[in-house]
Structure 1
């Protein structure tokens, strides 16, 4: 795994990306970068009134991701990293959530910032079907996520597939539907083995 200095674990909402990133960080002594969404005051408002709050939500996430990744990845050049998000996810969620004219403006901001963020050496994409995503979302019980629809998750899933296939980046796709790497150590070892032999 040492050949990958900067690893990103990605996947839909409820796919287990944060859990896996934490486990890889602990097991392989990597600097952990977790998306900081809890302090975003627009997020619960967005789920209640998406049309009103989508644009400020997406801009605030873009700024937060940019500052966090630029600070971490450039300040510690000798470290190895694992993160639970890809900077490009900003564009994916904006495409799903914003109106066309808002997305055009957003894309301009994104392209100005994107050039400063290093690309990951490996993306681990956790693919999971919608029913299992919904089960995980329900299990973790975040109030603002309780009304996420299957259609919304399907649109995010399609967006991930497109952005990753078009990216030209090194993507390891893992079907994680039958894996519980948090509770089952053999499942975690299976994932690590996939990474090591990729």
Structure 2
């Protein structure tokens, strides 16, 4: 039987890493963590997106490609706090049409033989909630994120979810605006009850 490979996705600050960590502990799955702080272009990117977007997106793509490639050796279930497809979502918002066309061709070549997540959890939240969560984690390079950028990401993630749902993929959309699954057990159990049917309800005892 093919191993379960869960990806948690959504806009910046929505709680992807926190939920992925909790799910990995609940189901005893391998936890795959996104590389963010190691990107040497990120601070410059948020200061001047048009100037640094291609370098930033290519760094992320190459690193995430290598991370997904390495996951082939993992025999247990996997929970990742990102899906490599997010590269196209972000790149579509930052690159020129010419750059995005080149980026997309490289993406298609790199990902054509990768094992992809077979369950995707999309998290979302209202703009003001996202901004508060971003402020709380206090990453210096995120202080300059503009509202329009977050709103565009929310729009594109919702469009991606809708396309996968229409194709019959195993996807869940969860609005976390009024949820605190890190502190409130009932909120986390609510999410678990949505996820378990997709993976057969197996839980690490």
Give the TM-score normalised by structure 2.
Answer: 0.91
Residue 102 of structure 2 aligns to a residue whose secondary structure is helix
CA contact (8 A) 1:130 1:153 kept: yes
Corresponding residue for 2:69? 70
How do 1:19-98 and structure 2 match up within 5 A?
A: 19-72=18-71, 74-76=72-74, 78-98=75-95
Distance 1:165 1:112 in 2: 25
Partner of 2:140: 143
Name structure 2 gaps, 5 residues minimum.
Answer: 199-205
Counterpart secondary structure, 1:44: helix
Tell me if the contact between 1:4 and 1:122 (Cα under 8 Å) persists in the aligned partners.
Answer: no
1:72-109 C-alpha deviation (Å, 9 max, x unpaired): 2x112x21000010111111100001011111110110
Partners of 2:197 and 2:59 in 1: CA distance: 38
Provide the C-alpha distance between the structure 2 equivalents of 1:3 and 1:39, rounded to a whole number of angstroms. Answer: 32
Instruction: Return 5+ residue gaps in structure 1 as ranges.
Output: none
Is structure 2 residue 195 aligned with structure 1 residue 195? yes
How well do the aligned residues superpose, as a CA RMSD in angstroms? 1.5
Q: 158, 162, 165: which is aligned to 1:165?
A: 162
CA displacement, residues 45-73 of structure 1 (integer Å, 9 cap, x when unaligned): 1001111110000001000000001112x
Alignment partner of 1:110 out of 71, 90, 107: 107
Equivalent pair of 2:161/2:173 in contact (CA under 8 Å): no
Please say if residues 7 and 82 of structure 1, whose CA atoms lie closer than 8 Å, have aligned partners that are also in contact.
Answer: yes
- Listed one character per residue, the Cα deviations across residues 33-52 of structure 1 (whole Å, up to 9, x for unaligned) are 01011111111110011111
Could you tell me whether the CA contact under 8 Å between 1:8 and 1:124 is conserved in 2? yes
- Partners in 2 of 1:93 and 1:55 — Cα distance? 11
TM-score under structure 1 length normalisation: 0.94
